[in-house]
Structure 1
């Protein structure tokens, strides 16, 4: 009974920690290769958070995401990739397989993080729990969140919106101009 109570308190505190987070940049996660990652390292930058997959019709968007990252990375911007197998099981690979695919196929240099669950529920990643509080969760792979320098969601774009889309580019530029 006591162990169950302690487990329940710990589980509740984890949920409260995410729900109580004022910023995406308050969260910690893991890199694609399993090393600790502090999203606080991106505080003060505008980020584009994307749930990615290797075997999706939208996978060629990696090219545009990488171009966007390279263009703006020295101006206070970063693309953050979160592989997910949630939609059509289109990201079944291991971390090593995903990393190899991204590097060989699209020469991805933007930060990639461990595979996540984007759907609401007990297995949902804390990152997507926070992002989902904006009122939007991905309906498919390559959904995009523009996150401001303060770590708050500024805009959401569904999968079909490409990295080159003027509305997405405008949301990023507006975020970069904001204090």
Structure 2
């Protein structure tokens, strides 16, 4: 199994095979519209615009599992992203990225790129997650966890929520 073996519904309800992105560098992100990291939508859009002609595609997967920070419908999420951040990269159906209803893609991603900790283990997010018992294991920890996929469909790197897009550029550029 690899990334290209998975399918997901787009935010507009049509089934999409990730094999359609074969040969591209992918950045797969679980997103939320009412999170402290929501501004990353804008940064992800800028990243997409900067590198899409070189083969980068950002794929956004809304999720409401962390602090109920994605309560809207797919239509509301799509509208929010377009109006507030000018998002043109592909968005998908709101899914679960951890737990018993986890989308299989995210089970694969977390299996290929285990949790390595936060850059700052004393950060507010790390402390909060530790208190909630969510810091252990390899599951997604919070909104805006990012997975970088190479042109062959291999998971190259995992970036946690606190990693900004500028910090990811060297890894992205190395794959483009």
Query: Do these two structures clear the TM 0.5 threshold for a shared fold by scoring above it?
Result: yes
**Please, which of 16, 21, 46 is the counterpart of residue 37 of structure 1?**
16
Count matched residues: 152
Residue matched to 2:52: 73
SS in structure 2 at match of 1:99: helix
Residue matched to 1:131: 109
CA distance in 1, matches of 2:36, 2:54: 30
CA distance in 1, matches of 2:38, 2:156: 24
Structure 2: runs of 5+ lacking an equivalent: 116-138
SS in structure 1 at match of 2:92: coil
Alignment of 1:1-179 (within 5 A): 21=1, 23-121=2-100, 123-134=101-112, 135-136=114-115, 137-165=139-167, 168-176=168-176
Structure 1: runs of 5+ lacking an equivalent: 1-20
CA distance in 1, matches of 2:36, 2:57: 23
**Native 8 Å contact 1:53 1:90 kept in 2:** yes
User: What are the superposed Cα offsets for residues 61-109 of structure 1, whole Å, 9 maximum, x if unpaired?
Assistant: 1111000001111111110000000100100100000000000000100
Alpha-carbon RMSD: 0.9
CA distance in 1, matches of 2:92, 2:19: 14
TM score, norm. by length of structure 2: 0.84
**Native 8 Å contact 1:48 1:147 kept in 2:** yes
> How big is the shift at 1:34?
0.8
CA distance in 1, matches of 2:60, 2:30: 6
> How big is the shift at 1:120?
3.6
> How big is the shift at 1:174?
1.6
Residue matched to 1:18: none
CA distance in 2, matches of 1:150, 1:114: 24
TM score, norm. by length of structure 1: 0.82
> How big is the shift at 1:133?
1.1
